[in-house]
């Protein structure tokens, strides 16, 4: 299992770096296709089929979010919100407002994360920043996993994720931040803003771990072990990119603030 996890992680990083190197458009298409898979897994975890009416509605929302720059305008947000209210009426209450709302929140979370990942490639030195960001998340996850197994200690949040420990979370934070400083310092020699890199590493690593807990909480609430079976040793797409998606908006905001 561990060999599968490591091998899948390395292949994933290589694929991400390669797709991003092809250019912003190729990266955007790659992120878009991945987000559709993520949405299908979220819909399935919520108790609906990937080809259900709610699923196609969620696919449409993610598509608009990634390919229409004005989706976050007042009218765009209004249309998305109203569609959530109209769906139970259209399907004659075979889907409740609560279920529609849950799918909407999950879709917006995935969509905003995907948009942020896509936009990371478009900032100055976009490919380099994206590589630094992905390696930071990966290092956080890896350091937390091995650090927790090594030191043990009190559990971080046993009712949500029984295997995670406080020591693992702290080592993950340190490991992820260290990777941001080292890799960022090597690949962005001209940048030279170490305090900003330190802050970026801390925030990215922390947000990534929160994102992991959020997905664990949702899986536990829905009685799901893995979001899917696509990735050997990891489960589904969401099991692998939950941290990437959750932390991406924070990372994008911080990186864009460094490029006025």
DSSP letter assigned to residue 179? H
Task: Point out which residues pair with 235 in neighbouring strands.
Answer: 231
Residue 1: its pLDDT value, please?
Answer: 55
Residue 260 has pLDDT above 60, yes or no: no
Structure tokens belonging to residue 66: 């990634």
Pair 9, 138: CB distance under 8 Å = yes
pTM of the predicted protein model: 0.88
Residue 57: its pLDDT value, please?
Answer: 92
Nearest by Cα to 243 from 202, 198, 207: 207
pLDDT tens for each residue of 143-191: 888 888 787 777 877 778 778 888 889 999 999 999 999 998 888 766 6
Structure tokens belonging to residue 227: 């979001």
Structure tokens belonging to residue 23: 């250019």
Residue 56: its pLDDT value, please?
Answer: 93
Separation in Å, CA 152 to CA 29, 156, 165, 177, 197: 41, 11, 7, 21, 29
Separation in Å, CA 106 to CA 4, 46, 198, 246: 28, 10, 30, 11
Structure tokens belonging to residue 99: 């279920």
Residue 29: its pLDDT value, please?
Answer: 95
Residues near 5 by beta carbon (within 8 Å), at least 6 away in sequence: 233, 234
Residue 73: its pLDDT value, please?
Answer: 86
Residue 189: its pLDDT value, please?
Answer: 67
Answer with the residue of higher pLDDT: 37 or 259. Answer: 37
Residues near 111 by beta carbon (within 8 Å), at least 6 away in sequence: 35, 61, 62, 65, 66
Nearest by Cα to 109 from 41, 47, 163, 156: 41
Give the C-alpha separation, 89 to 246, whole Å.
32
Give the C-alpha separation, 51 to 175, whole Å.
40
pLDDT tens for each residue of 242-254: 899 999 999 999 9
Structure tokens belonging to residue 188: 């962005």
Pair 227, 236: CB distance under 8 Å = yes
Residue 19 has pLDDT above 70, yes or no: yes
Domain ranges of the chain: 2-257
What is the rounded end-to-end Cα distance, in angstroms, of the chain?
44
pLDDT tens for each residue of 107-132: 999 999 999 999 999 988 888 999 99
């Amino acid at each position: 299992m561990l060999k599968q996890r490591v091998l899948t992680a390395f292949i994933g990083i290589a694929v991400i770096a390669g797709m991003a190197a092809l250019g912003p458009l190729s990266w955007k298409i790659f992120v878009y296709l991945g987000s559709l898979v993520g949405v299908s897994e979220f819909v399935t975890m919520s108790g609906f089929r990937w080809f259900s009416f709610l699923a196609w509605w969620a696919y449409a929302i993610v598509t608009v979010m990634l390919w229409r720059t004005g989706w976050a305008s007042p009218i765009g947000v209004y249309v998305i919100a109203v569609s959530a209210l109209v769906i139970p009426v259209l399907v004659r209450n075979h889907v409740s407002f609560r279920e529609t709302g849950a799918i909407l929140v999950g879709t917006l979370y995935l969509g905003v994360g995907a948009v942020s990942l896509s936009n990371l490639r478009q900032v100055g030195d976009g490919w380099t920043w994206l590589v630094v960001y992905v390696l930071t998340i990966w290092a956080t996850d890896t350091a937390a996993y091995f650090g927790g197994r090594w030191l043990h200690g009190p559990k971080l949040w046993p009712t949500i994720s029984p295997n995670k420990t406080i020591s693992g979370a702290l080592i993950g934070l340190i490991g992820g931040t260290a990777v941001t400083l080292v890799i960022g310092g090597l690949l962005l020699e001209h940048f030279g803003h170490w305090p900003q890199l330190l802050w970026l590493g801390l925030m990215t690593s922390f947000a990534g771990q929160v994102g992991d807990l959020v997905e664990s909480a949702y899986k536990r609430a829905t009685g799901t072990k893995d979001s899917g079976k696509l990735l050997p040793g990891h489960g589904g797409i969401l099991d692998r990119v939950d941290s990437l998606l959750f932390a991406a908006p924070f990372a994008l905001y911080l990186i864009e603030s460094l490029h006025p």
